Amino acid sequence: MKSVVTTAYRPTDGSRKKAEEVSSELAIPFIERNKRSVEKLHEVLGSDVLVAAKERLEFYPLGISEPFFFHPNSSAFRTKRLIANDPLIEVSGLQAGDSFVDCTLGMASDSIVASQWIGEEGIVVGCEAHETIAYVIKKGLALYDKMPHLIDAMRRIQVIHTKAVDYLTSQPDDSVDVVYMDPMFTEEIVEASNFVPIRATANTSQLTDAWVEQAIRIARKSVVLKAHFRSTDFEKFGFQRRIRPNTKFHYGVINCQQQKAPE
Ligand SMILES: C[S@@+](CC[C@H](N)C(=O)[O-])C[C@H]1O[C@@H](n2cnc3c(N)ncnc32)[C@H](O)[C@@H]1O
């Protein structure tokens, strides 16, 4: 069994209704909680468990007892600083009203920063290959209301459950301003992050020629890669690396205007 959904430990009518809604939207079984711990449910059912808790949806991959749930994460502090100086914004050349495709949505922190920066005229599409992660983040972006300054930016993000290359391939030439990719690092970074519970479950695919070619084809301004500072993908796929001293990850950029300019 792939995933099941259940209620909070002490279910209310609201929690049960929410769990039933998740069951129907994700086409996964609804299981009575019956005061069992998540560990017990993992043991008995042998599947990932989603919990429709009072305030949020929690995802417990099989064998993991820490929940994964939506939270603005790094976007909370990055949007309190001058966003123009955020490395993603600087490197990408994103401007107000632009369109941004995030190939690897994850917790959506980068997409929230981009969305806040490009404003209400902008468009943000986030692709996420893992169905449950995409669902938890889509619900979080639609419902989270604890950071009023980010609400509009979160609501604007369109989440699509798809592999990045499939989405890119379906889009016309030169149809977006910036395409961004942040695949899972192959080298683990020791960090206290809400992403830790799904590190082993998230899609760990790495960049391919087709992925980068499709990104360049649809991007008018730039294609941006974030990767571990030891990654050789920057050079391998033609990204100009922007070194950030004392940081564990770097950004790289392909300038599409230059690349596509006639000789
Ligand atoms: C490192 S995380 C991205 C974090 C994200 N930038 C953020 O701000 O939270 C990578 C995410 O992309 C997803 N992913 C990896 N490869 C993908 C692909 N080829 N297409 C779509 N999603 C992918 C993973 O499942 C994971 O959720």
Task: Say what angle helices 13-26 and 131-143 make with each other, to 10 degrees.
Answer: 130
Mind listing the pLDDT tens digit for each residue in 190-207? Answer: 555 677 788 788 888 899
The residue among 13 and 118 whose pLDDT is bigger is 118
Ligand 1, atom nearest to 74 Cα: 8
Q: Which CATH superfamily includes the segment(s) 74-260?
A: Vaccinia Virus protein VP39 (3.40.50.150)
CATH code given to domain 3-60: 3.40.50.10480
In the chain, beta strands by DSSP E: 3-7, 48-52, 57-60, 99-102, 123-128, 157-161, 176-181, 219-228, 240-242, 249-255
The count of C-alpha atoms lying within 13 angstroms of the C-alpha of 250, restricted to the half-sphere facing its C-beta, is: 17
The domains of the chain are located at 3-60, 74-260
Mind listing the pLDDT tens digit for each residue in 218-239? Answer: 999 999 999 999 999 999 999 9
Least-confidence region, from 94-98, 125-129, 140-144, 227-231: 227-231
Ligand 1, atom nearest to 130 Cα: 25
Ligand 1 mutation pick, 88, 104, 154, max ligand atoms within 8 A of CB: 104
- Whether 3-60 shares its CATH topology with 74-260 is answered yes
Spacing, Cα 184 to ligand 1 middle (Å): 6
Question: 166 is written with which tokens?
Answer: 């499939």
